[in-house]
Amino acid sequence: MATLIKNGTIVTASEQYKSDVLIDGEKIVAIGSDLDSRAETVVDAEGKYLFPGGIDAHTHFDLPFMGTNTAGFDTTPAALVGGTTSVIDFTPQPAGMSLQDSIVKHREEAIEGKTAVDYSLHSMIMDSTVPGIFDEFSALVKAGVPTIKMFLAYKGTPFMVDDATLFKGLEAAKDVGMLPTIHAENGDVVSLLQEKLLAAGKTDPKYHAESRPAIVEVEATARAASLAQAADAPIFIVHVSCEGAMLAIRNARQQGVDIFGETCPQYLVLDESYLAKPGFEGAKYVCSPALRPEFNQEPLWQALNNGWLQTVGSDHCGFNMKGQKDMGTEKFTGIPNGTPGVENRLAILYTYGFLQGKLSLQRMVDAFATAPAKLFGMYPRKGSIVIGGDADIVVFDPAYQGKISVETSLHGVDYSAYEGFNEKGRADKVFLRGKLVADGGKFIGQLGQGQFIERTPFGLAYESRMKR
């Protein structure tokens, strides 16, 4: 079954040009002008951009967290209508279970037969007391899972690792070519600040930001970078929320540390004033790291446009206000941390980045698709529009004008963090491995169509960089 997309403007991380694209089965088989083919389906993309299907390397579907569970993989059509065709989800590690068994369990129980997007998994240490946990890394790499998350926050839960564990993890990851990804906040200090605020009767959602100020993120980011340098390991810092943490990454990189960073749409367009909305509404915006004072947004856009931060992930974490966020009406520490956003990544980057002159289209495509594909071992199968690659393509209509609303969202959560935000341009048609799965904002695929993506180890790229 062949599809010809005619007259679109292909945008890659390095260029843009008008061209036709021929898809046969699941692959892109030709790119060129005036392609003449007997394709069964012809799509006229005159006046539209062709972007590679997005890769959201930071999602939490079906994550047990803070006493409840996030929305599951049956809500992944939200990703597709927003132009994201692959996600890399963080795999929960049940207490006492090995990392490998956790991967098998997450796939079998939460994902297979349910997911609409292609997916891969990061391993995630949630119980570092499991014996031999670092010895498992090489088996994870062999199973196509070459990334591991470690948390420097969430004291009092099994998530948080101490510096010794972090250092051991960095060394073990490096030895097998894994890329460690780090949640960088100083969990000890956050815990002390939380206690102090609650003791003073400061229980509203807005105190979430006071309990985890930017400096605790800056300190942990700089510490993680230093320990990566000490271990001679590469490192990827997730959800960079503030100028200081971005500068810590940029400085470490200038000193030769192989460090990379991600920011998220919420840190680019929302600020800490949202946490102080009337009543309990601020709970919608309780995520960690916390939303920051607005002045941090410009430096984050600048960092993306200059390549000081490489990727944008959503940190999608779908909790309802009713029945989940409201567990924290008495005190902000009871509010499950996280915001939904898997549907909105491209909309925010295009409308508030490109159209406002903060991000070139090339940098946008890189942060949205190509850089995550390269860093996380999915390139060139995913992440660009190339002959031989999977036909994951977004036909993007720049003329569309709308507004983001929970009413039209597919994310399966009872609010949108971007309610009322303008959406200029949108993913008009989305192809996943050659199949049209979203059309005009509607999901027209099937749950269960998503496939597991085995990823290659970062170490392959790392070694070639080191030999330069």
Q: Which residues bind ligand DUC (CB under 6 A)?
A: 60, 65, 183, 287-288, 315, 317, 337-338
Closer Cβ to ligand DUC, 174 or 284, answer by number: 284
Q: How many CB atoms lie within 10 A of CB 403?
A: 12
Q: Which residues contact 115 (CB under 8 A, 6 or more apart)?
A: 73, 76, 447, 448, 449, 450
C-beta of 272: minimal distance to ligand DUC in Å? 14
Structure tokens at 46: 């005159």
Distance of CA 20 to the CA centre of its chain: 30
C-beta of 434: minimal distance to Zn ion in Å? 31
CA terminus-to-terminus distance, the chain: 43
By three-state DSSP, how is residue 154 classified?
Answer: coil
Pick one of ligand DUC, Zn ion, none as the site partner of residue 337 (Cβ within 5 to 8 A by kind): ligand DUC
Pick one of ligand DUC, Zn ion, none as the site partner of residue 180 (Cβ within 5 to 8 A by kind): none
Closer Cβ to ligand DUC, 160 or 309, answer by number: 160
Let me know: does 111 contact 147? Beta carbons within 8 Å.
no
Q: How many CB atoms lie within 10 A of CB 196?
A: 12
C-beta of 257: minimal distance to Zn ion in Å? 20
By three-state DSSP, how is residue 61 classified?
Answer: coil
Structure tokens at 131: 């014996």
The secondary element (H helix, E strand) that includes residue 363 is helix 361-365
Let me know: does 272 contact 290? Beta carbons within 8 Å.
yes
Within 131-209, strands assigned E span 147-151, 179-183
C-beta of 239: minimal distance to Zn ion in Å? 6
Closer Cβ to Zn ion, 183 or 435, answer by number: 183
C-beta of 224: minimal distance to ligand DUC in Å? 14
- Write out the binding residues for Zn ion, residues 297-316 only, by CB under 5 A: 315
C-beta of 19: minimal distance to ligand DUC in Å? 40
Let me know: does 110 contact 147? Beta carbons within 8 Å.
no
| Alpha-carbon span 142 to 114, nearest angstrom | 25
Pick one of Zn ion, ligand DUC, none as the site partner of residue 392 (Cβ within 5 to 8 A by kind): none
Closer Cβ to Zn ion, 23 or 290, answer by number: 290
Closer Cβ to ligand DUC, 149 or 363, answer by number: 149
Q: Site for Zn ion (CB under 5 A): how many residues?
A: 2
Pick one of ligand DUC, Zn ion, none as the site partner of residue 338 (Cβ within 5 to 8 A by kind): ligand DUC
- Write out the binding residues for Zn ion, residues 171-230 only, by CB under 5 A: 183
Let me know: does 28 contact 385? Beta carbons within 8 Å.
yes
Closer Cβ to ligand DUC, 340 or 457, answer by number: 340
428 lies in the binding site for Zn ion (CB under 5 A)? no
C-beta of 58: minimal distance to ligand DUC in Å? 9
Residues that bind Zn ion (CB under 5 A): 183, 315
